[in-house]
């Protein structure tokens, strides 16, 4: 491989002298000004630049500063050429970002040695950068794979739970969709833009799938009980919230994006908190309840009210909306419930889409399915 060198000097004698010394070993280009040098740099990328300090219009320090600003040239090593000798000039050259300093007049051996030294260092740096980049990409890919496996494990647990808890099926899918709809409505309305960022919204929609994962630790006889819980059974059922957060934190501890893990754990832990502070597991109230959990609560309750369970029929959406609206400031964040009520049609349309899917499942006649869903 023949390295490329760009000589920038307003003295043609210096350019010619350097060219004669270097041309047998390197590809050499030259420019008599900083402006001309940048025109050449638009066409080629040299492996090293020999740069005069004292030039009219744009001196070497100005040229170097512009080189460092450009993404395509900031990594090119620069050796300053100058007839001005002294520690102050040399110090300034090195502080400006030059790799080395060669005084005029120069000898062939000194110039070649300095150039070879810089090129070797730069080649080694590029090798290390390539190795680091490859290793970093491998680590990132490995972390993504680990994260995906861990997330799929928790989703699998969520599906197992859903098959145990006496629901008609699809609760996880439906609540996740309602969370997505509510997040979209809130962002459109400009609600809490500093908190409900694009990143937070995306992570919350992913986290919604895992909100009930703690039920993996609740016995079947409690999950599927058709009647009211005893006080002891109710305490065991309530424990699923805190346990869900623990499961997510432990199972997903190796995921690189701990922001996502935190959101998912908050949703699982706190989606049964109440605005008035009477919920569980921590008795949080108002803005103490994480935003994701307050949003999840609305989606969770709306689906619970409108869906068939082993112990009840499903409400119509109007009945569900009416009941939820009465809980503003008690169970639900009043501002969130107001925005949801102002966009009822979005959730009604989605509910009817779920009903159509249920009706088309083929397990019952259309009339039987409809009655079971909304009667």
Contact (CB, 8 A) for 261 and 204: no
Mean pLDDT (whole number) for 125-142: 71
Helix (H), strand (E) counts: the chain: 15, 5
d(CA 44, CA 60) in angstroms, rounded, equals 19
Per-residue pLDDT tens for 232-290?
A: 889 989 999 999 999 888 877 777 678 989 999 999 999 999 999 999 999 999 999 99
Look at residue 357 in the predicted model and tell me its pLDDT. 82
Q: What are phi and psi of 74, to 5 degrees?
A: -65, -20
- CB neighbour class for 271 (10 Å; exposed up to 12, middle 13-18, buried from 19): buried
Banded pLDDT at 369 (limits 50, 70, 90): very low
Quick one: angle between helices 258-270 and 291-306, nearest 10?
50
Banded pLDDT at 159 (limits 50, 70, 90): low
Look at residue 240 in the predicted model and tell me its pLDDT. 92
Look at residue 333 in the predicted model and tell me its pLDDT. 97
Of 1-5, 54-58, 216-220, the one with minimum mean pLDDT is 216-220
CA angle (12 as vertex; 8, 13 as ends), nearest 5 = 115
More confidently predicted of 357 and 345: 345
Q: What are the structural domains, with CATH classification, of the chain?
A: 4-106 (3.40.50.2300), 144-374 (1.10.3210.10)
Residue with tokens 């990328």: 45
Look at residue 375 in the predicted model and tell me its pLDDT. 35
Mean pLDDT (whole number) for 43-70: 91
Banded pLDDT at 291 (limits 50, 70, 90): very high
Look at residue 30 in the predicted model and tell me its pLDDT. 94
Banded pLDDT at 373 (limits 50, 70, 90): very low
Look at residue 140 in the predicted model and tell me its pLDDT. 60
Contact (CB, 8 A) for 5 and 37: no
Closest to 163 measured CA to CA, from 216, 209, 206, 208: 216
d(CA 139, CA 214) in angstroms, rounded, equals 30
Residue 220 tokens read as 């079947």
**What percent of the chain clears pLDDT 90, i.e. is strictly above it?**
51
Q: What are phi and psi of 225, to 5 degrees?
A: -65, 125
d(CA 254, CA 261) in angstroms, rounded, equals 10
Judge whether residue 161 has pLDDT over 70: no
Helix (H) or strand (E) holding 28: strand 27-31
Banded pLDDT at 320 (limits 50, 70, 90): very high
Banded pLDDT at 168 (limits 50, 70, 90): very low
C-alpha distance from residue 226 to each of 10, 167, 179, 223, 368 (Å): 92, 11, 27, 9, 21
C-alpha distance from residue 295 to each of 70, 192, 282, 331, 340 (Å): 46, 12, 17, 12, 10
Per-residue pLDDT tens for 97-118?
A: 888 888 888 889 989 988 988 8
Residue 12 tokens read as 């043609």
d(CA 4, CA 369) in angstroms, rounded, equals 76
What average pLDDT does the structure give for the chain?
85
Contact (CB, 8 A) for 340 and 325: no
Mean pLDDT (whole number) for 283-301: 97
Q: Residue 142 CB: number of other CB atoms within 10 A?
A: 12
Banded pLDDT at 217 (limits 50, 70, 90): confident
Residue 113 tokens read as 């040695």
Look at residue 150 in the predicted model and tell me its pLDDT. 61
Judge whether residue 169 has pLDDT over 60: no
d(CA 146, CA 251) in angstroms, rounded, equals 11
Of 58-67, 84-93, 133-142, 215-224, the one with minimum mean pLDDT is 133-142
Banded pLDDT at 309 (limits 50, 70, 90): low
C-alpha distance from residue 124 to each of 22, 43, 246 (Å): 22, 25, 47
Contact (CB, 8 A) for 183 and 294: no
d(CA 29, CA 279) in angstroms, rounded, equals 75
Contact (CB, 8 A) for 102 and 114: yes
Look at residue 219 in the predicted model and tell me its pLDDT. 80
C-alpha distance from residue 327 to each of 83, 228, 271, 288 (Å): 83, 21, 15, 18
Peptide bond just before 160 cis, omega within 30 deg = no
Look at residue 49 in the predicted model and tell me its pLDDT. 95
d(CA 44, CA 204) in angstroms, rounded, equals 47
List Cβ neighbours of 193 (8 Å cut-off, separation of 6 or more). 187
């Amino acid at each position: 491989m023949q390295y490329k060198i760009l000589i920038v000097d307003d003295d043609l004698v210096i350019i010619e002298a350097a060219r004669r010394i270097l041309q047998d070993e390197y590809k050499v280009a030259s420019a008599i000004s900083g402006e001309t040098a940048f025109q050449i740099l638009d066409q080629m990328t040299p492996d090293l630049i020999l740069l005069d300090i004292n030039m009219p219009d744009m001196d070497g320090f100005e040229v170097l500063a512009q080189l460092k600003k450009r993404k395509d040239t900031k990594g090119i090593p620069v050796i300053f050429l100058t007839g001005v000798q002294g520690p102050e000039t040399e110090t300034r050259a090195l502080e400006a970002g030059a790799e080395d300093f060669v005084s005029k007049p120069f000898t062939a051996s000194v110039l070649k040695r300095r150039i070879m030294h810089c090129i070797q260092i730069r080649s080694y740096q590029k090798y290390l950068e390539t190795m680091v980049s490859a290793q970093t990409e491998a680590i990132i890919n490995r972390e993504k794979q680990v994260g995906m496996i861990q997330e799929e494990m928790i989703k699998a647990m969520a599906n197992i739970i859903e098959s145990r808890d006496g629901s008609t099926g699809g609760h996880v899918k439906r609540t996740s969709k309602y969370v997505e709809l509510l997040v979209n409505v809130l962002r459109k309305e400009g609600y809490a833009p500093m908190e409900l960022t694009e990143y937070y919204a995306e992570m919350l929609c992913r986290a919604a799938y895992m909100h009930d994962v703690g039920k993996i630790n609740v016995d079947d006889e409690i999950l599927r009980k058709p009647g009211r819980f005893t006080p002891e059974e109710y305490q065991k059922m309530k424990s699923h919230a805190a346990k869900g957060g623990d499961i997510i934190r432990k199972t997903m501890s190796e995921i690189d994006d701990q922001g996502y893990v935190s959101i998912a754990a908050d949703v699982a832990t706190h989606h049964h908190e109440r605005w008035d502070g009477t919920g569980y597991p921590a008795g949080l109230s108002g803005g103490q309840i994480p935003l994701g959990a307050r949003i999840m609560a609305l989606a969770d309750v709306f689906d619970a009210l409108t869906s068939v369970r082993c112990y009840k029929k499903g409400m119509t959406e109007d009945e569900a909306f009416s009941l939820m609206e009465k809980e503003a400031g008690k169970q639900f964040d009043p501002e969130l419930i107001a925005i949801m009520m102002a966009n009822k049609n979005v959730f009604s349309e989605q509910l009817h889409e779920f009903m159509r899917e249920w009706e088309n499942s083929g397990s019952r006649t259309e009339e039987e399915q409809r009655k079971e869903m909304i009667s």
